[in-house]
Chains A and B, each alone.
Chain A
């Protein structure tokens, strides 16, 4: 029996060796561009010397981590990362769900289609372009302030007041990504059997009861997956958005872990120290994803892993 399987395997290999040939280049790519940098994170535990390189530099244990934990800027970067991400979660997360629920109630196909297409558009603009647009719209003599002044109000320092800048950051995030979320949730709603709504209608359920008892339960798996991913990423933040939306005047608010690592590493040349901070963030990120995934499975949701 075993021999038979073995001969079958050999036969498979004989006929399909080309499959392994195909995998050679992707695997080399994987090793060089994904796994070598992972090995390179050991710089975080070394006293990195450019001339000696990663391998020959001296091990110094957790020195960089200790220095990071003792530095004020590190904690500010963590605090800013958490605040900006929590805001995205609290304000940005529910909006596409609400939009999808109400767009699903709409009968007019034209309005339905057009609003999806237009709201989805900003998702494909780069953060450089978005930052340029934000400047035109929110700067001291930008669109909104001109409007406020015309209406007899005072101009608001949207981009230079740290607290208000955060609002701009969140609002921009909604503008950029709500359309994307909307399409994901609408896709989940297309599979609802219309007879469910009809039955509920005949039983006398009002619009909001139908939303509550039919639409929302249908969205639940998608909502929970999106929530898991968002919670798992609460400590990680992209580089482009905070870096490009930020400016010198709000740097204490806009400086997050990714931009902090960039400034320390690539601008001040402290490669080892910056790697330690980046590694700390990545490890926390992995732990968070594992925890959130476990929790989700405990509550009977599917999870992502």
Chain B
């Protein structure tokens, strides 16, 4: 018996060792592309051209970042995107809370119909062009509203917040109503304070989608003052593809470090937010899966 046990323990230890090794390897592989781009952004031109930069900078310098920071065009759209993201998140949360709270109430008449109307939008997408024509007929093309309003209320997030509100103990409300508390007061004094974790999660959902979103900017915006940082990056990346195809790759390769620095720079807000995102998104996924 003890022989069997020690044998199986050894086998198990070996299995654990191999498994750890594999996961460490996979983790490193998934980190390499990001490390590579960071390394290039801090490397000097010659090593980049000769291809000797892998995951560590060669000929360390911060010249690319000096250039990115002095590019007022890029920094301008970076700051604009931060403001846009903040505004979008605030607006979206207001709308989502205002919709989720009443719909979480059991006695509300017409609740079923309204929910169905929201759920339909999750499964039927009218497509790019009708949305574009709609924005156009509202006169929102080339305005900041075209980037703020259309995505401001996601049915998916609404359902998550609704089920969170539904989990709040009803007796809390009952007591408040007896004391003459109105629904608005109940929302601000009871529901919102209790739903802070869910609200934080959904705010992150909204913020990430706005920060990363590029297609609506591409569809609705032609005024370069309203370009988000993602679209600016896209133009930068595209310019390099074209010139490589024309056989002038050597000249443009010099820009590789600037391109990489811009990419890294625009990743920074996400990397700063990542510990929170990481903590809350996992919770958000659980919230989403609980609803079934």
Contact = CB atoms under 8 A, between A and B. Distances in A.
Contact of B129 (A38, A108, A132, A266): A266
A286 B123 contact: yes
B69 interface: no
Contacts of A230: none
Interface string A96-135: 0001001101111001101101111110111111011111
Nearest to A42: B130
Contact of B263 (A25, A29, A132, A279): A132
Contacts of A231: none
Interface in B186-245: 187, 208, 211-215, 219, 230-231, 233-234, 237, 240-241, 244-245
Interface stretch (A14-22, A75-83, A192-200): A14-22
B153 A129 contact: no
B132 to A, nearest CB: 6
Interface residues of B, number: 93
Contacts of B95: 25-26, 29
A1 to B, nearest CB: 18
A244 interface: yes
A275 B127 contact: yes
Contacts of B132: 265-266, 271
A123 B40 CA distance: 22
Contact of B128 (A23, A26, A119, A266): A266
A203 B104 CA distance: 48
B233 A129 contact: yes
A271 B130 CA distance: 8
B98 A25 contact: yes
Contact of A53 (B26, B126, B137): B137
Contacts of B101: 19, 22
Contact of B277 (A35, A124, A262): A124
Most chain A CB within 10 A, of B27, B40, B187, is at B27
Given A132-B37, A135-B241, A136-B256, A19 B183 contact: yes
Contact of A187 (B52, B103, B149, B289): B289
Interface in A114-161: 114-115, 117-122, 124-129, 131-137, 139, 141, 143, 146, 149
Contact of B149 (A29, A107, A128, A282): A29
Contact of B285 (A112, A119, A131, A187): A187
A122 B215 CA distance: 19
B117 A30 contact: yes
B184 interface: yes
A27 interface: yes
A122 B230 contact: no
A184 interface: yes
Contact of B30 (A43, A118, A134, A236): A118
Contact of A133 (B33, B131, B133): B33
Given A15-B177, A111-B23, A135-B241, A117 B131 contact: no
Contacts of A146: 51-52
Interface stretch (B14-22, B56-64, B70-78): B14-22
Most chain A CB within 10 A, of B37, B114, B152, is at B37
Contacts of B9: none
Given A23-B99, A37-B131, A265-B132, A124 B212 contact: yes
B112 interface: no
Contact of A40 (B32, B117, B130): B130
A128 B133 contact: no
Nearest to A190: B286
Interface in A164-217: 175, 179, 183-184, 187-188, 207
Contacts of B79: none
A285 interface: yes
Contacts of B130: 37-38, 40-41, 43, 275, 278
A115 B16 CA distance: 15
A258 interface: yes
Contacts of A133: 33-34, 36-37, 263
A218 B277 CA distance: 27
Interface string B80-114: 00000000000000011011011101011100001
Interface of B: 12, 15-16, 19-20, 22-24, 26-27, 30-34, 36-37, 40, 51-52, 54, 95-96, 98-99, 101-103, 105, 107-109, 114, 117-118, 121, 123-134, 137-138, 149-150, 152-153, 177, 182-184, 187, 208, 211-215, 219, 230-231, 233-234, 237, 240-241, 244-245, 249, 253, 256, 259-260, 263, 266-267, 270, 274, 277-278, 281-282, 285-286, 289, 292
What are the 5 closest A-B residue pairs judged by CB atoms, nearest first?
A: A278-B127, A126-B212, A40-B130, A26-B99, A146-B51
21 contacts: A16-B183, A19-B101, A23-B98, A26-B96, A30-B117, A41-B130, A121-B34, A122-B30, A122-B34, A126-B211, A126-B230, A127-B212, A129-B233, A133-B36, A135-B237, A136-B260, A143-B54, A175-B30, A183-B282, A183-B285, A285-B124
